[in-house]
Amino acid sequence: MKHFQFFIFLLIGIFTMSTFSCDENSPAKVTVFVKADGKYWSNVTVKLYVSIADRNADNPFLEATTGAVAPDKNGAVFINLPPQTYYFKAMFSDGLGKYEGTGELLVNAGDDVSFTLQCSKMPTGNLQVFVRKDLPSGVYMGSVSVYLYKSTADRDAGNHLQVSATSSSNPQTEGAMFTYLTFQTYYLKANFETGGKQYEGLGQVVVPINTTTSYHLVCTEK
């Protein structure tokens, strides 16, 4: 009888240890809601990072999007997460301003938790780029695509942040518009063909907040 009881206790102990071990390694689920200006926002991409360094370099581990409807109930869902601290970022525009928020969350094994990412309106400025041919006082060129980059490395690699075109009818008053830009130096590139010749121009400009900056990008023959 004693041997039988010992055998039962041994099985219970093995089962308990096995269950505990499984719990320790169970994947977690995190649902992220995005909130700004007192309301929840739909169709916002949330990025998940495994370190602050990755977040600073914008090297996400996973991405998910808040629901198109009922964003207070349908957040961005991340599943099969190993236990650790995760870092989050969201950035979006509502047509009138640009919002950004960051946060972090310690996730334990087997968690099924919700997290609200608070976003704030970012101070931004606008940029209007006019394209001139040959000289700073040269002819204004219409229907020219202007590419905006955050760094020279991005420009060299062709990874543009935004693209806009000068007006086809009034290029002297309606340049290529870039809106909701955060304060920093931006890098530009434009090219076009006319008279059987190829033209290209490069430039850089600092965009301050709360104003629209005008910049004349000169393109010369390649």
The per-residue pLDDT for range 56-97, each reduced to its tens digit, is 999 999 999 999 999 999 999 999 999 999 999 999 988 778
CATH code at 124-221: 2.60.40.10
State the pLDDT at residue 45: 98
Which CATH topology does 26-122 take? Immunoglobulin-like (2.60.40)
Q: What is the pLDDT of residue 5?
A: 53
Report pLDDT for 16: 46
Q: What pLDDT was estimated at residue 213?
A: 97
Amino acid identity of residue 196, one-letter, is: G
Report long-range pairs for 189-195 (Cβ below 8 Å, ≥24 apart): 189/146, 189/147, 189/149, 189/155, 189/160, 190/129, 190/131, 190/144, 190/145, 190/146, 190/147, 190/217, 190/219, 191/144, 191/219, 191/222, 192/131, 192/141, 192/144, 192/219, 194/133, 194/141
Q: What is the pLDDT of residue 100?
A: 94
Model pLDDT, residue 23? 59
Structure confidence at residue 96 (pLDDT)? 77
Dig out the tokens for 57 from the structure. 């370099």
Using a cut of 0.75, tell me whether the model's pTM lies above it: no
In which residue ranges of the chain is CATH 2.60.40.10 found? 26-122, 124-221
Give residue 95's pLDDT. Answer: 78
For the chain, residues with pLDDT lower than 70 are 1-24
Q: What is the pLDDT of residue 94?
A: 87
Task: Provide, rounded to the nearest whole percent, the portion of the chain with pLDDT above 70.
Answer: 89
CB count within 10 Å of CB 183 equals: 13
